Amino acid sequence: MRLLILLVLAAFAAAPAGAQVIVSDGPDDVSVTLYRDPGRGAGGAINLNNLRGFALITETRTISLPQGPATIRFEGVAEGIVPVSAIVTGLPGGTIQRNRDARLLSPASLVDGSLGNRVTIRRADSETGAMREQDAIIRVGPNNGVIFETAEGIEALRCSGLPETLVFDGVPEGLSARPTLSVETVSPQAGTATVTLSYLASGFDWTAHYVADLTEDGEELRLFAWLTLANSNPQSFADANVQAVAGTLNREADSDIADAYQQLQLRLTCWPMDTTATYPGWNVDRSVYPPPAPLARMADSGAIVVTGARGRADELQSVAGLVAVQEELGDLKLYRIPETVTVAANAQKQVALLVQPAVQFEQFYSGQFVRSPGEVEPVPLYITFRTENEEAEGLGVPLPSGTVTIFTEAAGRRLPVSESEIADRAVGQDVEISVAPSSQVMLATRYTGDGETDGWELTVTNANPRAAEIELDLGPGEADIRTSGPGRVRVREGRRIWFVSVPANGERKLEVGPF
């Protein structure tokens, strides 16, 4: 044991402060494997401004090593790198220690690193408008604002109403222009090494977006899916080998690795242009402002609009050779993109995920019974599509969670009729898609209780010229529900469902209770 301790101490002693610094400014080859945000397990779109997934990034770099101790700086790693996850292999002398150089060069870090030091303030003269420069000392910053002192007194940056900016003589010590991971090593001899760096990084996510076209006879769906990759890091990964993993990971870490690295933020704060006594306790109620228009909200969230020409499944058969290849990863599914792609900084990218040109389905109307005293206004039931994820039905492939947009032809035009979410569906499972509320099939609920016992009469009306198949959710399967009426009531997947066929221009009633 004592010998082991001496060897460890000797290894650290072999890396003196004067070790040579070797800079690796980028990888020769990079692989990015994206894992979804576990909070979106039931589907839904992704928000580029708040990506909660992560990625495993593996880089190969060629490094010229000197003999003896050296500090290797891996520049250009993802800003959201999780330093404790980093693994470096291929160094002849191994690694002694590794560090995330956390202080990135930014306006906030420049100010923070210059506190108490002399800088130059460049601003417009209040009388002539000409630009002038004078010495200043930064006294406060960055989250409490930027306050500096000149020969004229103490001021807050950009609060004079005139153009002004700070000029720095140099970069404060310890700031890095690019996210960097530093590794200490001791090489037995000089030479060139091929080094592999692998690490986890936050600020990534991916999802599936399904585009389904209803055929003219209304009996099949032409299904196409996009795999949307998202990266909110300010670093791009050019010509990367990209994989996406579907499924739920078993995560037992004490900390959430999806927490992005928090970069220092600069905040400029000015004193109100009024007296402090004018508006005591003044608070702006943001609720008086109208919400942004739907298109504005879509733009803010980084949503992707799939156009008709791009989304039509039958026109995308030609890309079948570029569809992501599914592989097994234990109980998870891995989708490998068959050619290198660039995962761009602060951007989303789409690649083909699957093409299923003839998916058969059944159509019915679904809804839910809500116990409520009194008479309830009739509510529409939802047009719903269901199929089995089997080859015989035109599927038979795992379906990752995401969103589904359904299109149909109307007056010679292709129009979207529905967008909904879909959870992960394995082969053999039922796939249900709620399309849209129907204006032709309605549910009316009338309370029939007498004050001592509760009861309801449910009436489903069908204004279509054809029969409508109904599946109405009556509540949990274990609940004590007494029913009387046509059709049948049975438990499916833990819910008690009323199955009934309503004839064209007809109605069906179900008595529920008394309780």
The torsion angle over the Cα atoms of residues 411, 415, 417 and 419, rounded to 10 degrees, is 170
14-37 average pLDDT score: 82
Q: Given pLDDT bands bounded at 50, 70 and 90, which one contains residue 42? A: confident
Give the span between the Cα atoms of 46 and 34, in whole angstroms: 13
CB atoms near residue 513 (< 10 Å): 17
Write the burial class of residue 18 (CB in 10 Å: 0-12 exposed, 13-18 middle, 19+ buried).
exposed
How much is the pLDDT for 7?
33
Q: Give the residue among 193, 219, 187, 231 at the shortest CA–CA distance from 94.
A: 187
Separation CA 412–CA 264 (nearest Å) = 55
Shortest CA distance to 381 belongs to which of 488, 477, 461?
461
Maximum CA pair distance of the chain?
Answer: 93
Domain ranges of the chain: 107-167, 361-388+427-512
Phi/psi region, residue 42 (left: phi>0; alpha: psi -120 to 50; beta: rest), is alpha
**Confidence class of residue 150 from pLDDT cuts 50, 70 and 90?**
confident
Q: Which of 4-8, 280-284, 465-469 has the lowest mean pLDDT?
A: 4-8
Query: CA 427 to CA 391: how far, in whole Å?
Result: 9
pLDDT at 337 over 90: yes
Cα separation, 403 vs 366, whole angstroms: 19
Q: How far is CA 168 from the centre of its chain?
A: 37
Q: What is the DSSP string of 277-323?
A: TTSTT----GGGSPPPPHHHHHHHTT-----HHHH-GGGGGGGGGGS
Architecture of the domain spanning 361-388+427-512: Sandwich (2.60)
Give the range among 106-110, 257-261, 416-420, 468-472 with minimum mean pLDDT: 257-261
Whether the pTM exceeds 0.85: the reply is no
CA 248/CA 198 separation, integer angstroms: 22
